[in-house]
Amino acid sequence: MTWIIHTDGGSRGNPGPAALGFTIERDGTECYAYGEFLQTVTNNVAEYTAVLRALQTFAELAPAGTPVEIKADSKLVVEQLSGRWKIKHADMRSLALQVKKVYDPTLVTYTWVAREENKRADEMVNKAMDARGTVGGATDQDEPADEAPPAGPCRFVVVVAPITDRTLAILDRLAVGRDERFLPVRINHLADAPSQSSGVRIARHVRAAGAEVAMAEVAELSLDAAEGGTTILFGPDAAHVLSRLASSSVTFAPAAGSVSVIDHDAGAFSVRAIGVFA
């Protein structure tokens, strides 16, 4: 998964009424756009503050340890935060320290781009300036994303165990994935079916071709990207996936051998345990 942030900042007068703007893109699709009025500051302070606000937001959106590229049309900000130019001004040094504290600097790369390649961030600056306040966010109703997340109900079944004949037999008894509202079923797992009979049981659950992905990739799943239907996650380390899918503010610690279900429909979550086995 690739993350790119575009930042911009400016003032009308230097110093003067100022604003910042930034966008966050995930795999080429914008998922966050934000602008903020900053009262009276210089252009450089606005540019630096844009990077700071962007990384503060990114730290909340992305999984820990995620690398990101920041693209800005300020040569000063890019070169100073990259460590190639010295930071002489006290205000800039203070902001640079805040930037480095808010997100691991070893995970951030800075790239200078021409203003023509930074139009969206500049647009957010001007909107915030005109509004004399904040604009945008993850769900800006005035600027809907080109690819809105599907609205259908989603179900995630998290099995804290490898795929075995016993595991699949229990899922058969629990009738996982047979609720018509949550079809088709996708099965994501770490290994191939261990036997022919296991393959038959998987086929019963899938009802359609499902992709096999590594658990590291499954960890990147989010309800924003869900396409509806049921996703069954197998793995001995699936607990952190359950916590991530359910809520960023709630921590779950499912026991080894447990089966948990998260239903998401009309903005509401339902989390339940439907089985535990040795």
Q: Which candidate, 252, 265, 260, 264, places its Cα nearest to that of 277?
A: 260
What are 214's strand-pairing partners?
none
pLDDT for 164 equals 65
pLDDT in tens, the chain (278 residues): 799 999 999 999 889 999 999 999 998 999 899 999 998 999 999 999 999 999 999 988 888 889 999 999 999 999 999 999 999 999 899 999 999 999 999 999 999 999 999 999 999 999 999 989 998 876 443 443 333 344 467 777 777 776 666 666 666 666 665 555 555 555 544 333 334 344 444 444 433 333 333 333 444 444 343 456 666 676 655 555 555 555 444 455 566 677 777 777 766 666 666 666 54
pLDDT for 112 equals 97
Quickly name the fold that domain 3-137 has.
Nucleotidyltransferase; domain 5 (3.30.420)
Domain segments of the chain: what residues? Answer: 3-137, 154-276
Copy the structure tokens of residue 137. 């966010």
Q: What's the N-to-C CA distance of the chain in angstroms?
A: 35
pTM greater than 0.95 = no
- Number of residues in the chain: 278
Q: Match domain 154-276 to its CATH number in 1.10.287, 2.60.40, 1.10.150, 3.40.50.
A: 3.40.50
| Alpha-carbon span 5 to 8, nearest angstrom | 10
**Residue located via tokens 């079944």:** 157
| Alpha-carbon span 258 to 189, nearest angstrom | 16
pLDDT for 136 equals 85
- Measure the CA angle with vertex 67, ends 108 and 135; round to 5°: 75
pLDDT for 93 equals 93
Tell me if 276 sits within 8 A of 257, measured CB to CB.
yes
Q: How far is CA 79 from the centre of its chain?
A: 27
| Alpha-carbon span 269 to 259, nearest angstrom | 17
> One-letter amino acid identity for 196?
Q
DSSP 80-118: HHTTSS---SHHHHHHHHHHHHHS-GGGEEEEE--GGGG
**Residue located via tokens 């606005």:** 46
**Residue located via tokens 């900000």:** 77
Tell me if 5 sits within 8 A of 71, measured CB to CB.
yes
pLDDT for 213 equals 35
pLDDT for 63 equals 84
Copy the structure tokens of residue 232. 């069954």
Copy the structure tokens of residue 155. 């179900």
DSSP 8-state code for residue 220: T
103-107's contacts with Cβ under 8 Å and 24+ in sequence apart are 103/55, 103/56, 103/58, 103/59, 103/68, 104/65, 107/65, 107/66, 107/67, 107/68
| Alpha-carbon span 222 to 257, nearest angstrom | 23
C-alpha distances in angstroms, 83 versus 54, 105, 110, 125, 273?
A: 19, 11, 10, 26, 50
| Alpha-carbon span 151 to 26, nearest angstrom | 19
